Structure 1
Amino acid sequence: MKVLIVSDSHGLTSELSQIREMHPDMDLMIHCGDSELQADHESLRGYAAVRGNCDFEAAFPEDRIEEAGELRFFVTHGHRYSVKSTLMNLSYKAREMEADIVCFGHSHGLGAEMSNGILFINPGSIRLPRGRKEKTYVILEARGKIVTLDVYDLSNGKIPELTQNFSLVKSD
């Protein structure tokens, strides 16, 4: 099972379409907000998108739950959970939603970490990255509860040295 995760595209259109076309074999495509597009814009076709702090159309949900394979994804932009300073609020909400994986953006900073048995993924930004020069998005591949994250640069493709593996098997 494969999931594409992108965030903070801030008005880009052809790039979202390009990413979708480059990865046609995805089981789920997620946009973590700040597209600055209308919810029905052609560039967002196929993406499960949420509203970011720069999105003003009410048609976007603030948060959403998506299920793919054996995994439950909680998708949000992150601004309502203060993700620039802590993941604690988001962690509480993820546990409440019984999520295996949380996808969020807002900070434009690429990152992935396990916390209390939940995988938190920020794919960075394909328009205005912070903390690195690459304009990044992530592809998650899951085999049951074993997950591999591959990071892609919009211009240069996969960044092999950033591949990470995680086990979502919860221990008692």
Structure 2
Amino acid sequence: MSTKIIVLSDTHGDKRFLKEAVHLLKGKDLLIHLGDNYDDFLWLVNQTNIKGYAVKGNCDPYSNANEVEVIQIEGIKIMLTHGHNYGVKSGLLNLLYCGLEKDADIVLFGHTHVNHKEVSQEVTLLNPGSPVLPRGGTSSYGIITVDGRDFSCEIKK
């Protein structure tokens, strides 16, 4: 049985989107929120009773969430971070090295508001972009499907 995960970042308290996101979560097993607005994550979990994980972003100074989390879903290790502490607006090398040190299969990050997916040194780097304040493109979010040791990552617009 596979696990379907929705990945959000940089929702910035947009109430209109949050109401739409309740429908996006139907049929999903897990929510991951990568910061910049941690309260949005809490609201969605309370509205839907979905299980989830979240990290705080640079716009979440009062959150008690961690800045980095490493979770295991079935046989896949996933690192979560907002990305601002790794300089992701200038490049992804620091982020990649951290993911390699943590033996992650997938590294999830936000902060740039630009969706991005690449595989480097057998690590999948995924930024779901922003569903409310996209930079240089279309509103987006991520979907990860995990089935044992197999997984797929995609960006939905």
- TM-score interval for Structure 1 and Structure 2 normalised by the shorter chain: 0.7 to 0.9
Question: Structure 1 residue 151 and structure 2 residue 151: aligned?
Answer: no
Q: How many angstroms apart in 2 are the aligned matches of 1:138 and 1:145?
A: 19
> Which of the numbers 14, 17, 20 marks the counterpart of 1:15?
17
1:35-88: CA deviations, max 9, x gaps? Answer: 16377x423544311111111124111111121121011000000000111111
User: Conserved in 2, the CA contact under 8 Å of 1:113 and 1:121?
Assistant: yes
Which deviates more from structure 2 when the two are superposed, residues 99-108 or residues 50-59?
Answer: 50-59
Q: Which amino acid in 1 is paired with 2:59? A: C
Map of 1:138 onto structure 2: 142
Larger RCO (alpha carbons 8 Å, 6+ apart)? 2
The answer as to 2:124 corresponding to 1:112 is: no
Where has structure 1 moved over 4 Å in runs of 4 or more? none
For residue 44 of structure 2, what is the aligned residue in structure 1? 43
1:72 aligns with 2:77: yes
* CA distance 1:37–1:142, shift in 2 (3 Å): closer
Unmatched runs of 5 consecutive residues or more in structure 1: 154-172
Give 1 or 2: higher helix fraction. 2
The reply on whether 1:34 has 2:36 as its aligned counterpart is: yes
> Which of 126, 129, 132 matches 1:124?
129
TM-score (norm 1): 0.78
Alignment of 1:52-71 (within 5 A): 52-71=57-76
Residue 141 of structure 1 and its aligned partner are, at CA, apart by 1.4
Task: Return closer, same or farther for 1:129/1:18 CA change in 2, 3 Å cut-off.
Answer: same
Tell me the alpha carbon deviations over residues 80-104 of structure 1, each in whole angstroms, 9 at most, x when there is no partner: 0001111111111111111110000
Deviates more, 1:29-38 or 1:142-151: 142-151
**Sequence identity, in percent?**
35
Structure 2 gaps of 5+ residues are none
Please report the RMSD computed on the Cα atoms of aligned residues, expressed in angstroms.
2.0
Deviates more, 1:23-32 or 1:64-73: 23-32
SS at match of 1:37: helix
Distance 1:121 1:37 in 2: 22
Q: TM-score, normalised by structure 2?
A: 0.85
The 3-state SS of whatever aligns with 1:15 is helix
